[in-house]
A and B are shown apart, each in its own frame.
Chain A
Amino acid sequence: MDAITRSNAPAASTRLRMHPAGDRRRGYALVITALILTSAGTVGLAAYGTGYGYRAIGTETAAGVDIPEDPKALKQMQNKLRSQQRQLVAALARKAPRGYYIVIDQTQNRLYLMQDEKVLREAVCSAGSGLILQEQEGGKRQWIFDTPRGVHRVRTKIEDPVWKKPDWAFVEEGKPIPTNPEERFAPGELGEYALYFGNGYMIHGTLYERLLGRSVTHGCIRLGREDLREVYRAVDIGTPIYIY
């Protein structure tokens, strides 16, 4: 055992003494690694704390107005503000539609029959296709088949409407525009009822119910038979139509 111990001890000390440059290199490597890890950690932590910080929305108090200390002045201000509030609430109520109104989501092809903010009926409809029709053979006219956004009103209620085909209907079919007005009438194409809301636009029925839910019209709103009946019965002339 002694021999072994004796022979091992000098060998170890020789190894330590013999590689001072290697140890230095190892030390540098350790320091560099530590530096890299620390920097990466710092950058990572900073990145973690970068972006958008979110918090709950707090309650608000009115700012920028002096509230009087004098009880009499305070009472006066209180009364004035209460009366102002009543007027504002009334003004807001006057703007909101009362009774029946129609809301149309033209992108998703949905029609809602509303009554005082309550949905009475949701119907699948078809709105404008958004296509462009360019007149051929020297004609310069162009039509864009969009359903107009905004507030409209029912102007006329028509039973068994007959469609008077406009010029674009012939251009679209590649047919000449007729000179005889009689050739423009197309009975039965608009279904049982039509609610006219101006500029040639209507809510009407369709022969192609399988296309409901798709944006295929020339700007009018097509409805299925049952939905059209219900809507036609509910609304009067002057009923607002909101299209978004």
Chain B
Amino acid sequence: MRSTSAPRSTFIECGRAAALVLLLIAAPARAKDDQTEAKLEVSTLLRDNSALEKRVELANGNEFYLLLDPTAGTLKLMLQGAVLRDYSVQGLEVGSPRVAFRSRDLEGGWTGRIWSQGNLEPARDREREHVQIPDSTIVTAESVAPKPKMPLLPEEIYVVPHRYHVRYEGGLSLEVRPMELDESASFWKRARAGLLAWFHDCRAAVAKNPEDAVRLRLILAPTDAASLYRALPPDTRLFVLPRS
């Protein structure tokens, strides 16, 4: 029997040496990868922490606010950290004014900022009426007394426009468009609404100081869009979470 231990041990030694060389070559590359990963994490943490700081600031305030999360596709109406209403966003785009295909870049730094004084346009106004006090000195028979008028339902009082905005101080507006999903609206109604919107946008875009430097177009289900219009309190704030 011939011993094979000597050549085998040489072979193992060679293998070890080769593995060591490979490790030495791979180590800096791996360190570089770790460094890149760490940088990426730091960048993400910076962005997320900044957003969290804003959310804490909003939750500590006394104003109602909207929290728009483009990643999750949600719009939440909130107060002091409590979710009051959650709307599902069907579509979201960012728009800026343009004239003859040339964009007027007025939107510098709209992200990562809390927008305030948000109000509906067209406004959801309701004229306040006075209570009619009956004259107690006049005694009327029940049969001839005027029948009290049935108060209107909110749906009857507040007619929701085909498109509306929530305009914030500083030039950002939320444009809410429910029409795209509204199958019940006729073709002509939709075409008319589209044409009117286009005409209004043209006028707004060519103005010296466009009313909206930047627009966030939200597509909501018709019921959600109507509900948001009827329920949004005045002077809300807005924060758009960074998209991850």
A residues engaging B (CB < 8 A)? 45-47, 49-62, 65, 67, 71, 74-75, 77-78, 81-82, 84-85, 88-89, 91-92, 95-97, 101, 103, 105, 107-109, 117, 129-134, 136, 144, 149-151, 171-175, 211, 213-216, 240, 242, 244
Query: Considering residues B97, B128, B204, B216, which has the most beta carbons from chain A within 10 angstroms of its beta carbon?
Result: B128
- Can you name 12 A-B residue pairings with CB atoms under 8 Å? A49-B99, A50-B100, A50-B205, A52-B204, A53-B103, A55-B93, A55-B94, A77-B42, A78-B38, A103-B85, A108-B227, A171-B133
Q: How many A-B residue pairs have CB under 8 A?
A: 201
Total number of B residues with any Cβ neighbor in A under 8 Å: 81
Interface of A is mostly: mixed
Please give, as numbers and ranges, the residues of chain A lying within 8 Å of B98 by CB-CB distance. Answer: 49-53
Judge if B18 is at the interface, Cβ distance under 8 Å.
no
CA–CA, A150 and B64, complex, Å: 8
**Known pairs A50-B99, A55-B93, A107-B158; A172 contacts B84 (CB<8 A):** no
Tell me if A134 and B130 are in contact (CB < 8 A): yes
Additional 5 contacts, C-beta under 8 A, given A88-B56, A92-B56, A244-B85: A50-B201, A53-B103, A62-B50, A96-B83, A174-B136
Q: Determine which residue in A53, A96, A240 has the highest number of CB atoms from chain B within 10 A of its CB, and name it.
A: A53
B93–A175 CB distance below 8 A: no
State whether B77 touches A57 (Cβ < 8 A): no
Residue of A67, A95, A172 ringed by the most chain B CB atoms within 10 A: A95
Q: Using an 8 Å CB-CB cutoff, how does the interface string of B146-184 with A read, 1 for contact, 0 for none?
A: 000011111001100000000000000000000000000
Residue contact A107 to B49, C-beta cutoff 8 Å: no
Assess whether B84 is in contact with A52, with CB atoms less than 8 Å apart: no
Shortest B105–chain A CB gap in Å is 11
Pairwise interchain contact A52-B97, C-beta atoms closer than 8 A: yes
Q: Which of B45, B136, B215 has its CB near the most chain A CB atoms (within 10 A)?
A: B45
Q: Which of B101, B152, B204 contacts A49 (CB 8 A)?
A: B101
A74→B153 contact, CB < 8 A: no
B233 within 8 A of A: yes
Q: Is B41 an interface residue (CB 8 A)?
A: yes
Instruction: Select A52's contact among B92, B154, B205, beta carbons within 8 Å.
Output: B205
CB contact under 8 A between A60 and B46, given known A49-B98, A95-B60: no
Instruction: Tell me, rounded to whole Å, the shortest Cβ–Cβ distance linking A51 to chain B.
Output: 4
Contact B217 A131 (CB under 8 A): no
CB contact under 8 A between A92 and B94, given known A67-B43, A108-B230: no
- Cα separation A134 to B48 with both chains bound (whole Å): 53
Cβ–Cβ contact A62 & B43, under 8 A:
yes
Chain A residues near B153 (CB-CB < 8 A): 213-214
Assess whether B205 is in contact with A51, with CB atoms less than 8 Å apart. yes
B170 to chain A, nearest CB (A): 17
Q: Closest residue of chain A to B92, judged by CB?
A: A57
A144 to B130, CA, bound (A): 9
CA distance A52 to B85 in the complex (A): 29
Q: Which residues of A contact B49 (CB under 8 A)?
A: 81, 84-85, 88
Partner of B136, one of A84, A133, A175: A175
Partner of A95, one of B80, B130, B205: B80
On chain A, the residues within 8 Å of B103 by CB distance are 53
Across the interface, B206 reaches (CB within 8 A) one of A50, A132, A214, namely A50
Which residues of chain B are within 8 angstroms of A95 by Cβ–Cβ distance?
56, 59-60, 80-82
B19 interface hit (Cβ, 8 Å): no
Say yes or no for B198: interface residue by CB 8 A criterion: yes
Q: Is residue B15 contacting chain A, with contact meaning CB distance below 8 A?
A: no
Chain B minimum-CB-distance residue to A88: B52
Check B101–A61 contact: CB distance below 8 A.
no
Contact B93 A54 (CB under 8 A): yes
Q: How far is the CA of A56 from the CA of B82 in the complex (A)?
A: 29
Assess the B96–A52 pair: CB atoms within 8 A: yes
A59 to B101, CA, bound (A): 24
Q: Are A131 and B129 in contact (CB under 8 A)?
A: yes
Quick check: A74 and B217 within 8 Å, CB to CB? no
Contacts of A50 in B (CB 8 A): 98-100, 201-202, 205-206
Task: Find the A residue at minimum CB distance from B135.
Answer: A174
Q: Is the CB of A53 within 8 A of B50?
A: no
In the bound assembly, the distance between CA atoms of A54 and B62 in angstroms comes to 33
